[in-house]
DNA sequence: TAAAAATTGTCAAACGTTTGACAATTATAA
DNA sequence: TTATAATTGTCAAACGTTTGACAATTTTTA
């Protein structure tokens, strides 16, 4: 690959001049610039980022740590992150941590080794200490990591309230929550709390069913079938849309009609669900806004490592009413 | 951040020794190794990848260029790529090129500048020349890029045949293909050819409807509605599953029953579709195998830039029979 | 105990850039 | 024409590693 010296030789100028052209530094005549650009084009030259970064420039790389990308919610989030960061001249290293603490640790180490400019963390298998000693700008999505790391999330509590309201409004009496097995710091806790608090107002009964996040759709389907076949509930709140789809699937298999026999509210409201399952009533998280805020904060910290930021940024959610709560 | 020299000082050895420990090079006593590792742990030291790579080591980074990641097919593919590459010690820079040639070009430049070890290209807005002058190991998914770049794909032709067979078998007479507006090099062409060739055997009639890939689901839905409401077709082959979901949606809205009034076959058969839409008959691409082959080839080229590879690697597809062709 | 082997150290060049100091040349303005 | 400004060049250090040559020291083996 061509180096700066090759360009200098071909353009008939000094290496310093080439560097000046690249960095637009010092004073340069149009003629020289043209010559240099010409040479660059001719050799298809790309300044070696490694060398530049080593010399102190930013890497223009952001690490993105998420549970995965095959799920529509995180898929859309990654897409947004990529899109918005690209426009600001940054690229992303994608880290799917799954629910594997060791992998997340490895990735964290690697991101440090690669001197990324910052990290967006949306996966949280690790303890606080591990994130504290990273020493890079970090923004967290939806979970507490450490006192210095700002959290961006949507209003989970209100989302829970909205879900409850929708079910109550549609005349459900025997309510059921289906949620992932919840970690202590999990955001879904607030969804539950909001839901429960709202229900207190109408004095209705409800049950909670926990299904591990890592359960396959088949397993989840079985548990849901078990639940539905008792025919004891007439209103269900799933804390994610995919689980809600399984409920629809199982209900249909059991000959139960939605919304006549059972009402249903999901959570997340991704573009995917809105386009391909508009029938589902769901609480929409404003993914694009969440990402916008995360990136804004992150880049502030990239420019100034010690810049003061709030601890928490909470964005509003919105109920999308479909036919499952008609 | 701690440097190699800091470690040397803390461990009371020379910088060379530390480097030897890191690279497991030369001869070293257990005692020294322990001391050095101890110091590394104490300072949370990570060898600067930039410096290492500059000195000639690999970057352990692979660029992945795809149309996007919010679509379940590419979402699952990225997940596979990440998963398999991680196990081999590589990380990925994710490049969503969409259908934007300029963006793809930018990303290609950036990947060169960052000295990635190789590239997996699954997005194809650019001409051959652009890929030829990259000078890095590249593997292409499902599209011809240049004579030196191996193509890995699944058997699109046979997939088309399978789809046709399924529709014919289910008694459809008036067939319709719904596909993306096709580029000359697009793999969906082979799907169509296979479909058409198979139909010739039974002497059935069919029509082709093209809908641009970049059309929103709403627009697609409208076109499908228009088509269905004529009630002239009784068997539809969609060259991707998401479009098939829209057909189901529109059919239901129009009071048409699937499969009684119209039969339907999709394409891709992602985990997502298999779990959340098992009712859909579809042709499954073996994503995991495709990725395995791509990575295998790519890493061969990473180790030896000039290693000889076949031009084409075609993996088998499989019909998954659901209820839409019952 | 002497010879051989293993361990560690010193030193320096190299990777490809950026940047500052300074000098030399060229162009421009008074 | 001269003084001034703009342009370009030379040189070298720095970024954090790796690696080879070589020497010095310690340990092991015979």
Convert the pLDDT of each residue in B126-143 to its tens digit: 887 889 889 999 999 999
The reply to whether A109 Cβ lies less than 7 angstroms from strand D is no
Check if the beta carbon of residue B161 is closer than 8 Å to that of residue B198.
yes
pLDDT (0 to 100) of residue B129: 82
pLDDT (0 to 100) of residue B128: 78
In this structure, are B140 and B210 located in the same domain? no
In this structure, are B161 and B267 located in the same domain? yes
The Cα-based distances of A306 to A130, A221, A298, A301, B146 in angstroms read 19, 48, 12, 7, 48
- Number of A:B CB contacts under 8 A? 137
Question: A29 CA to C30 C1', in Å?
Answer: 23
Of A243-247, B209-213, B319-323, where does mean pLDDT reach its minimum?
B209-213
In this structure, are A281 and A161 located in the same domain? yes
Of A185-199, B206-220, B263-277, where does mean pLDDT reach its minimum?
A185-199
Of A70, A92, A113, the CB nearest to B48: A113
Is A321 part of the contact surface with chain B (CB cutoff 8 Å)?
no
Closest C1' nucleotide to A35's CA: D8
Domain assignment of residue A70, yes or no:
yes
Domain assignment of residue A54, yes or no:
no
Between residues A43 and B181, the one the model is more confident about = A43
Q: pLDDT tens, A217-251?
A: 999 999 999 999 999 999 999 999 999 999 999 99
Closest C1' nucleotide to A52's CA: C17
E strands present in chain A: 61-66, 91-96, 118-121, 138-141, 151-154, 174-180, 205-211, 235-238, 263-268, 281-284, 312-315, 318-320
pLDDT (0 to 100) of residue A124: 79
In this structure, are A75 and A109 located in the same domain? yes
Check if the beta carbon of residue A138 is closer than 8 Å to that of residue A94.
no
pLDDT (0 to 100) of residue A10: 95
Mean pLDDT value of segment B107-116: 97
Domain assignment of residue B325, yes or no:
no
Mean pLDDT value of segment B39-57: 96
pLDDT (0 to 100) of residue B126: 80
Closest CA to A95 of B46, B81, B47, B82: B82
User: What sign has the CA pseudo-torsion B61, B64, B68, B69?
Assistant: negative
Residue B155 has pLDDT above 90, yes or no: yes
| Two structure tokens written together for B183 | 């580029």
Is A246 part of the contact surface with chain B (CB cutoff 8 Å)?
yes
| Residues 6+ positions from A157 with CB-CB distance below 8 Å | A190, A191, A193, A194, A197
- Cα separation, B238 vs B263, in Å, equals 11
- Cα separation, B254 vs A180, in Å, equals 37
pLDDT (0 to 100) of residue B183: 78
In this structure, are A271 and A164 located in the same domain? yes
| Two structure tokens written together for B280 | 């859909």
∠ CA B312-B316-B318 to the nearest 5 degrees? Answer: 155
User: What sign has the CA pseudo-torsion B203, B321, B192, B226?
Assistant: positive
- Cα separation, B108 vs B113, in Å, equals 9
pLDDT (0 to 100) of residue B133: 87
pLDDT (0 to 100) of residue A259: 96
Residue B195 has pLDDT above 80, yes or no: yes
The reply to whether B32 Cβ lies less than 7 angstroms from strand C is yes
Of B82, B96, B217, the CB nearest to A275: B217
Is B88 part of the contact surface with chain A (CB cutoff 8 Å)?
no
Q: Which chain B residues in 108-167 lie under 8 Å from chain A, judged by CB atoms?
A: 109-110, 112-115, 133, 135
In this structure, are A116 and A169 located in the same domain? no
In this structure, are A236 and A196 located in the same domain? yes
Domain harbouring A28, CATH code: 1.10.260.40
The Cα-based distances of B108 to A87, B94, B131 in angstroms read 16, 11, 8
- Cα separation, A181 vs A189, in Å, equals 10
Of A48, A76, A78, the CB nearest to B115: A48
Closest residue in B to A107 (Cα–Cα): B91
Domain harbouring A267, CATH code: 3.40.50.2300
In this structure, are B132 and B166 located in the same domain? no
Provide the shortest C-alpha distance from residue B256 to chain A (in Å): 17
Buried b (16+ CB within 10 A) or exposed e, B289-308: ebbbbbbebbbbbbeeeeee
In this structure, are B162 and B281 located in the same domain? yes
Integer Rg of chain A from CA: 25
Domain assignment of residue A322, yes or no:
no
Residue B259: is the preceding peptide bond cis (ω within 30°)?
A: yes
E strands present in B19-145: 61-66, 91-96, 118-121, 138-141
Is A307 part of the contact surface with chain B (CB cutoff 8 Å)?
no
Closest residue (CA) to C1' of nucleotide C13 is: B55
Closest CA to A299 of A122, A148, A84, A144: A84
Is A102 part of the contact surface with chain B (CB cutoff 8 Å)?
no
State the DSSP string of A100-140. Answer: -HHHHHHHHHHHHHTT-SEEEE----S-HHHHHTT-S-EEE
Domain assignment of residue B264, yes or no:
yes
- Cα separation, B10 vs B31, in Å, equals 15
- Cα separation, A209 vs B200, in Å, equals 54
Is A75 part of the contact surface with chain B (CB cutoff 8 Å)?
yes
pLDDT (0 to 100) of residue B326: 87
Residue B184 has pLDDT above 80, yes or no: no
**Mutate which: A84, A100, A113, A240, vs B, most B CBs within 10 A:** A113
| Two structure tokens written together for B178 | 């719904």
Closest CA to B113 of B54, B47, B46: B54
- Cα separation, B278 vs A169, in Å, equals 32
pLDDT (0 to 100) of residue A317: 98
In this structure, are B168 and B219 located in the same domain? yes
∠ CA A257-A258-A261 to the nearest 5 degrees? Answer: 60
Check if the beta carbon of residue A207 is closer than 8 Å to that of residue A240.
no
B 97-156: CB within 7 Å of strand D: none
Provide the shortest C-alpha distance from residue B36 to chain A (in Å): 17
Domain assignment of residue A228, yes or no:
yes
The reply to whether A28 Cβ lies less than 7 angstroms from strand C is no
In this structure, are A26 and A72 located in the same domain? no
Closest residue in B to A83 (Cα–Cα): B96
Domain assignment of residue A216, yes or no:
yes
How many domains does the structure of chain B reveal? 3
Is B72 part of the contact surface with chain A (CB cutoff 8 Å)?
yes
A 4-43: CB within 7 Å of strand D: 12-17, 26-29, 31-32
Coil vs helix vs strand at B247: helix
Buried b (16+ CB within 10 A) or exposed e, B222-256: ebbbebbeeeebbbbbbbbbbbbbbbbbbbeeeeb
Is A238 part of the contact surface with chain B (CB cutoff 8 Å)?
no
Question: B29 CA to D27 C1', in Å?
Answer: 11
Check if the beta carbon of residue B160 is closer than 8 Å to that of residue B193.
yes
| Two structure tokens written together for A164 | 């409850």
Mean pLDDT value of segment B46-50: 97
The reply to whether B32 Cβ lies less than 7 angstroms from strand D is no
Check if the beta carbon of residue A227 is closer than 8 Å to that of residue A177.
no
Q: Which chain A residues in 272-301 lie under 8 Å from chain B, judged by CB atoms?
A: 272, 275-276, 278
Domain assignment of residue B56, yes or no:
no
The reply to whether B31 Cβ lies less than 7 angstroms from strand D is no
Of B72, B82, B113, the CB nearest to A49: B113
In this structure, are A83 and A40 located in the same domain? no
Give the residue ranges of chain A where pLDDT is below 50: none
| Residues 6+ positions from A133 with CB-CB distance below 8 Å | B44
pLDDT (0 to 100) of residue B165: 97
The reply to whether A57 Cβ lies less than 7 angstroms from strand C is yes
* Domain boundaries, position A228: 156-286
pLDDT (0 to 100) of residue A181: 82
DSSP A239: S
- Cα separation, A282 vs A112, in Å, equals 39
Provide the shortest C-alpha distance from residue B22 to chain A (in Å): 13
| Two structure tokens written together for A203 | 């004095």
């Amino acid at each position: 690959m061509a180096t700066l010296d090759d360009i200098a030789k071909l353009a008939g100028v000094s290496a310093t001049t080439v560097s000046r052209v690249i960095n637009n530094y010092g004073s340069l005549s149009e003629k020289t610039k043209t010559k240099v650009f010409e040479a660059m084009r001719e050799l298809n030259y790309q300044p070696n980022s490694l060398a530049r970064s080593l010399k102190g420039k930013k890497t223009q790389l952001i690490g993105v740590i998420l549970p995965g990308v095959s799920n529509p919610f995180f898929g859309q989030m990654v897409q947004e992150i990529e899109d918005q960061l690209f426009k600001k001249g940054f690229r992303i290293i994608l880290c799917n941590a799954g629910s594997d603490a060791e992998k997340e640790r490895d990735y964290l180490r690697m991101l440090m080794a690669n001197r990324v400019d910052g990290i967006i963390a949306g996966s949280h298998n690790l303890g606080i200490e591990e994130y504290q000693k990273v020493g890079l700008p970090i923004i967290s999505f939806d979970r507490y990591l450490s006192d210095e790391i700002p959290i961006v999330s949507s209003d989970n509590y209100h989302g829970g309230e909205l879900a409850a309201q929708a079910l109550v409004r549609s005349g459900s009496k025997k309510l059921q929550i289906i949620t992932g097995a919840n970690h202590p710091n999990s955001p879904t806790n607030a969804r539950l709390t909001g839901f429960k608090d709202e229900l207190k107002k109408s004095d209705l009964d409800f049950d909670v069913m926990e299904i591990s996040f890592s359960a396959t759709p088949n397993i989840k389907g079985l548990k849901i079938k078990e639940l539905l076949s008792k025919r004891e509930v007439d209103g269900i709140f799933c804390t994610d849309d995919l689980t809600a789809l399984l409920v629809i699937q199982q209900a249909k298999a059991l000959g139960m009609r939605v919304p006549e026999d059972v009402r249903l509210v999901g959570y997340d409201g991704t573009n995917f669900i809105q386009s391909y399952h508009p029938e589902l009533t769901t609480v929409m998280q404003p993914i694009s806004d969440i990402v916008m805020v995360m990136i804004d904060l992150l880049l502030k910290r990239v420019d100034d490592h010690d810049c003061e930021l709030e601890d928490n940024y909470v964005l509003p959610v919105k109920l999308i009413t479909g036919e499952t709560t008609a």
